[in-house]
Each structure stands twice: as structure tokens, then as C-alpha cells.
């Protein structure tokens, strides 16, 4: 059974001007020890999806429908109190800016111990500190450094502290919301490697949210590509890279410089993503799509299975599939 199963999750934001349809009909599942990448450009709804999962949406955000199953229980309708019971303990999140998430005037150790105590109140102070030290070793920081203040750590180290904190109550799903954005390439590689090792050693389910397809491709087993609030393609990483089907995925891939091949600049995708308050009736990528046909403007594509694991939401692919099967 999947440890996390999301079924037609839909989240809107209320604005004075109307509803922002930030995220619609998102479905995916995550197995034990698996890494799933959620990829898309800014404003595509990937962060909204993540915040919906852990229920940390801003005040004007609301889950309009769908289910979020963690270990077989649907948490979409949980109250804040019920969520507090499972946050950190079953599902936790690592944010992008590690500096802002830590209180600058308290040692990192006290902050982690505090988090542990919320869920393990039977542990003594000594045991909590012991546990924090162990966590530090797990994320490859010297255990003596639990008594240091946030500013004494470098950017990469601070992100490790955040990982230690996210792991402090043994969750089985960890969401990384752009955990390496803003870090240097070398540090980014180190942090990603750490996440991958932890995932494999401890059987964590990792949901990695990123705008960087190349990065995600290197660390995850499966990839969900989002565009303007919809999933456009969902497939195992190797299949996705070998045979991308959706025109958007294809253009994202072309934009990754492929070292060792000919150096050439790929033409950019023209235009910009649609307004999500009044999204277009048909395919949301229609206006920018190089392969679009007239029908795409009217008819909304649905996510269909092309092969068993490979899902794609594109009318062109859909018609090909029905052609071959019929």
C-alpha cells in the first residue's frame, strides 16, 4: 500500500477579484522509500499542492475537494488539532529559506528538542538532546554543534539542520519545497545526496518540489510535471526522460543544457502562463504550445494512461492512444 495517496486534490485561493484555481485534480501516489519529483515553473501550483498536503495553506487558501491518504487515512478533512498530531510525526516539510525558519536567538539544539517534545513528551531532556545529537550525525553534522546558533552555520549546513528537524519525529513522508534553491551547486549536490541516502536507508517517502527538472531527474524515481495548476505528465523518471509526451515537458527538457552535445540555444517557449482566475476553457498550455491544433482551444485534456505507468494530459497523445488501441 502507498504511504501517501493523493486523489483529485483541488485547492483554490480566494481573492477579491475571484478564485485563483491554483491547483486542480492533482493525483499521485508515493511508496515507501520512493522519491517523487513535483516539477513546474513558478506559479504552476506545485507549492500549493505541497502546502495542501501538510495543511499549511495561507488563510485565503482552501482545499475544495479530493482526498489525501496517509497510511490509509484521509487527512483532507482533518481539523487543525488533528493535523498537529500527525505533522512532524507522519509528514513533515523542509522549506526553501532555512534562515527564516530558525529562531536566531536560540541554539538550533533547543529548537529541535522543542519539536521532539511536542510528540514524545515521555522522553526526558537528556534523551531528547541525545536524539538531537543522533539526528545531527544522521545529517552529517558534528554532534557537538547542537549548541550553536543558526548564524554560526553556513547556508548548506543550515539546510541540513532543517532536514534534521524535519526528521526529528520519524515521519515517513518528507516534503522538500525547493530545499536546495539558492544554494551553491556543490552544496546543492551534497544536500540532494543526503536526502537520497536518507530516503534509501530509512525508507522515507520523499516528495521533492522543484523548478529544476535536471535536479529532480537525478534524485527521484517518479516525476509529476505541472503546468498552470494541472498535472500534464506523470511517469517514472527514466521513461519520462526517454520519451516525454507532453509538448510542455518536451520544451522543458530541451531547455536543460545537455553537456557533451552540440552547444545551441533552444528557442524559448513564447508567451506566459494563463491567468488562473479565469483559466482558458480548453488546454491551459494551448496558447504557448508548438503542436496545438484547433481542438485544443475548446476541449480540456484529461490525464490518461499511455502505458501502465505513463500518464499524460494532452489531446494529441490521447487521440494517438485511442487510435492504436482502436
Partner 1 sequence: MDDRNILEVKNLEVHFEARSGFLNNLLSREVPRIRAVDGVNFNLKKGEILSLAGESGCGKTTTGKAILRLVEPTGGKVYFRGQDLSLLTQKELREFRQQAQIIFQDPYESLNPRQTVFATVAEPLEVNRICDNTKEKEERVARALSDAGLKNPRDYFIRYPHELSGGQRQRIAIASALVLKPKFIVADEPVTMLDLSIRSGILKLMMELRDNKQISYLFITHDLSLAWLISDRIAVMYSGNIVEIGGAEQIIGSPAHPYTKALVSVIPNPERSSGTDRKLLEGEIPDPSSPPRGCKFHPRCSYAQPCCREERPLLREVEKDRFVSCHLV
Partner 2 sequence: MSDNRTVLLIKKKFSSFWKTFRQNKTGLIGLGILVLFALMAIIGPYLISYNAASVEEISTILNPPDSEHWLGTDDLGKDVLAGLVRGSRISLLVGITSTIISMLIGAVIGISSGYYGGTIDAILMRLTDVFLVIPWLPLMLVLTAILGANLLNVILVIGITSWASTARIIRSQTLSIKERPFIERARAIGSSNFHIMFSHILPNVFPLIFANTILVTAIAILSETTLSFLGMGDPTRVSWGMMLHFAFEAGATIIGAWWWIIPPGLAVVSVVLGFTFVGNALDEVLNPRLRRRER
What residues from 256 to 275 belong to the interface with partner 1 (CB under 8 A)?
256-257, 259-260, 263, 265-269, 272
What residues from 56 to 85 belong to the interface with partner 2 (CB under 8 A)?
60
> Of partner 1, partner 2, none, which one sits near residue 325, judging by CB under 5 to 8 A according to partner kind?
none
> Of partner 1, partner 2, none, which one sits near residue 249, judging by CB under 5 to 8 A according to partner kind?
none
Q: How far is the CB of 237 from partner 1 (least distance, A)?
A: 7
249 touching partner 1, by CB under 8 A: no
Query: CA 86 to CA 172: how far, in whole Å?
Result: 11
42 touching partner 1, by CB under 8 A: yes
Segment interacting with partner 1 (CB under 8 A) among 54-62, 98-106, 110-118, 249-257 = 249-257
Q: Which helix (H) or strand (E) holds 93?
A: strand 91-94
Which of 174, 203, 193, 157 lies closest to 93 in space, CA to CA? 174
Q: What angle do CA 210, 237, 216 make, to 5 degrees?
A: 20
What residues from 83 to 122 belong to the interface with partner 1 (CB under 8 A)?
none
> Grid coordinates 494512461 are at which residue?
305
15 touching partner 2, by CB under 8 A: yes
User: DSSP assignment of 220-260, as one string?
Assistant: -SEEEEEETTEEEEEEEHHHHHHS--SHHHHHHHHTS--TT
Cβ distance to partner 1 smaller for residue 44 or 75 = 44
Cβ distance to partner 2 smaller for residue 17 or 262 = 17
Please select the residue that binds partner 2; options are 12, 13, 129, 153, rule is CB under 8 A: 13
Cβ distance to partner 1 smaller for residue 42 or 79 = 42
Dihedral of CA 222/225/230/234: which sign? negative
Query: CA 93 to CA 95: how far, in whole Å?
Result: 6
Binding mask 139-168 for partner 1 (x = CB under 8 A): ---------------x-xx-----------
Size of the site for partner 2 (CB under 8 A): 4
Query: Helix 155-167 vs helix 108-119: angle between axes, to the nearest 10 degrees?
Result: 20
Please select the residue that binds partner 1; options are 190, 209, 229, 247, rule is CB under 8 A: 190
Task: Output the CA–CA distances (angstroms, integers) from residue 280 to 9, 292, 299, in the order listed.
Answer: 20, 14, 10
> Of partner 2, partner 1, none, which one sits near residue 91, judging by CB under 5 to 8 A according to partner kind?
none
Cβ distance to partner 2 smaller for residue 15 or 281 = 15
Q: How far is the CB of 93 from partner 1 (least distance, A)?
A: 22
Query: CA 77 to CA 55: how far, in whole Å?
Result: 10
Query: CA 247 to CA 317: how far, in whole Å?
Result: 10
Binding positions for partner 2, rule: CB under 8 A = 13, 15-16, 60
Amino acid at each position: 500500500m502507498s504511504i501517501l495517496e493523493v486523489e483529485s486534490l483541488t485547492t483554490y485561493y480566494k481573492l477579491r477579484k475571484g478564485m485563483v484555481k491554483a491547483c486542480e485534480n492533482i493525483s499521485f501516489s508515493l511508496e515507501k522509500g520512493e522519491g517523487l519529483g513535483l516539477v513546474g515553473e513558478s506559479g504552476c501550483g506545485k507549492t500549493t499542492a505541497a502546502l495542501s498536503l501538510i495543511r499549511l495553506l495561507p488563510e485565503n487558501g482552501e482545499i475544495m475537494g479530493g482526498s489525501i491518504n496517509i497510511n490509509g487515512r484521509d487527512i483532507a478533512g482533518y481539523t487543525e488539532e488533528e493535523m498537529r498530531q500527525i505533522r512532524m510525526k507522519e509528514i513533515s516539510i523542509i522549506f526553501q529559506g532555512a534562515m527564516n525558519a530558525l529562531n536566531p536567538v536560540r541554539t538550533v539544539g533547543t529548537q529541535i528538542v522543542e519539536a521532539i517534545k511536542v510528540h514524545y513528551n515521555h522522553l526526558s531532556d537528556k534523551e531528547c538532546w541525545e536524539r538531537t545529537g543522533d539526528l545531527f550525525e544522521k545529517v552529517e553534522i558534528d554532534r557537538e554543534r547542537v549548541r550553536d546558533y543558526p548564524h554560526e552555520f553556513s547556508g548548506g549546513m543550515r539546510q541540513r539542520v532543517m532536514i534534521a528537524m524535519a526528521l526529528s519525529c520519524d515521519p515517513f513522508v518528507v516534503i522538500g519545497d525547493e530545499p536546495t534553491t539558492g544554494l551553491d551547486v556543490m552544496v546543492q549536490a551534497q544536500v540532494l545526496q543526503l536526502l537520497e541516502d536518507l530516503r534509501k536507508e530509512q525508507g522515507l517517502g520523499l516528495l521533492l518540489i522543484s523548478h529544476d527538472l535536471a535536479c529532480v531527474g537525478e534524485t527521484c524515481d517518479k516525476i509529476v510535471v505541472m503546468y498552470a495548476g494541472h498535472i500534464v505528465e506523470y511517469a517514472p523518471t527514466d521513461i519520462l526522460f526517454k520519451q516525454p509526451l507532453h509538448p510542455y515537458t518536451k520544451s522543458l527538457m530541451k531547455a536543460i543544457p545537455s553537456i557533451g552535445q552540440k552547444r545551441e540555444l533552444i528557442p524559448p517557449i513564447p508567451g506566459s502562463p494563463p491567468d488562473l482566475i479565469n483559466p482558458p476553457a480548453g488546454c491551459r498550455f494551448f496558447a504557448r504550445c508548438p503542436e496545438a491544433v484547433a481542438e485544443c482551444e475548446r476541449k480540456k485534456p484529461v490525464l490518461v494512461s499511455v502505458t501502465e505507468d505513463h500518464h499524460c494530459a494532452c489531446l494529441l497523445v490521447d487521440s494517438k492512444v485511442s487510435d492504436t488501441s482502436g
